[in-house]
C-alpha cells in the first residue's frame, strides 16, 4: 500500500518537473544595464530559461539557466566570476557561487581575444534567499582584473512553489 502511494507520488513529482521544463521557455533579456564605468558592447545576447518576461521570476528551491553570448575583449587563462544582488545601494554576493570561470561555465580556456563564447550558469535560488526584486550583477573578469563582461539585470526572487 505505502509502496504504491510512494510510486505514484514519485511519478507525479517527475511529471511535474517535466511539465515545468516544457512550459518554461527561454527569454532574451532586453533590460541589460552596464555596470559602473562599464561597457556592454561585447555582449551579444543574454538568455534566461525558464523565463517568460522581465523581470524573470525565480522561485526559491529552483534554478534558472543563464546564458551570455559575448566576444572576448582580452586573452584570459583564468576568468573569474562574481554574481551579486544590488539591494538598495549595497551589493551582496550570491551564496554558493562557483567563481572559477573555466569550470562548468561552457567556456574553453584560455579565452582568446576576438572569439565568440557562450557562458552558461545555472543560478540556484536557495530557500533562505530574501524574497525581493533586485538587480543582479554578473561580472566575469580576466587575468588583470579587467572586466570581460559586466552587466546588471533585474531578477525577482519568489516564494517557493508548493
Ligand X SMILES: *[C@@H]1O[C@H](CO)[C@@H](O)[C@H](O)[C@H]1NC(C)=O
Q: 147-158 and 56-59: which strand pairing? A: parallel
Per-residue binding letters, 59-78, with ligand X (x by CB under 6 A): ----------------x---
Handedness of CA 94, 99, 105, 110 (dihedral sign): positive
Q: What is the DSSP letter of 108?
A: P
Query: H-type helices in the chain, by residue range?
Result: 2-23
| Closer CB to ligand X, 2 or 36, in the complex | 36
CA of 122: how far to CAs of 1, 2, 59, 67, 83, in Å? 38, 35, 14, 9, 12
Give min distance, CB of 69 to ligand X, in A: 20
- Binding-site string for ligand X from residue 125 to residue 154, where x marks contact by CB under 6 A and - marks none: --------------x-x---x-x--x----
CB of 125 or CB of 152, closer to ligand X: 152
What is the dihedral angle through the alpha carbons of 142, 145, 147, 148, rounded to the nearest 10 degrees? 0
- Binding segment for ligand X (CB under 6 A), chosen from 19-27, 33-41, 62-70, 123-131, is 33-41
Residue 2 CB, nearest approach to ligand X (Å): 51
List 76's β-bridge partners, or say none.
Answer: 111
Angstrom distance (rounded) from CA 82 to CA 141: 8
Beta carbon of residue 98, minimum distance to ligand X (angstroms, whole number):
13
Q: Residue 109 corresponds to which cell in the numbers above?
A: 580556456
Give which of 112, 127, 114 is closest to 159, Cα–Cα.
127
Judged by CB under 6 A, the residue of 42, 82, 118, 120 near ligand X is 82
Shortest CB 73 distance to ligand X, Å: 10
Nearer to ligand X by C-beta: 75 or 108?
75
The residues that touch ligand X, with contacts defined as CB under 6 A, are 35-36, 38, 75, 80, 82, 112-113, 139, 141, 145, 147, 150
Amino acid at each position: 500500500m505505502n509502496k504504491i502511494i510512494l510510486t505514484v507520488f514519485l511519478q507525479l513529482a517527475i511529471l511535474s518537473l517535466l511539465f515545468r521544463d516544457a512550459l518554461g521557455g527561454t527569454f532574451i533579456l532586453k533590460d541589460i544595464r552596464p555596470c559602473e564605468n562599464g561597457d556592454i558592447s561585447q555582449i551579444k545576447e543574454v538568455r534566461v530559461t525558464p523565463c517568460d518576461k522581465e523581470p524573470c521570476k525565480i522561485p526559491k528551491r529552483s534554478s534558472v539557466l543563464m546564458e551570455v553570448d559575448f566576444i572576448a575583449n582580452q586573452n584570459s587563462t583564468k576568468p573569474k566570476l562574481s554574481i551579486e544582488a544590488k539591494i538598495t545601494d549595497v551589493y551582496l554576493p550570491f551564496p554558493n557561487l562557483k567563481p572559477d570561470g573555466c569550470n562548468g561555465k561552457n567556456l574553453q580556456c584560455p579565452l582568446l581575444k576576438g572569439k565568440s563564447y557562450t557562458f552558461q550558469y545555472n543560478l540556484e535560488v536557495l530557500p533562505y534567499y530574501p524574497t525581493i526584486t533586485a538587480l543582479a550583477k554578473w561580472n566575469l573578469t580576466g587575468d588583470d582584473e579587467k572586466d570581460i563582461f559586466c552587466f546588471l539585470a533585474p531578477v525577482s526572487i519568489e516564494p517557493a512553489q508548493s
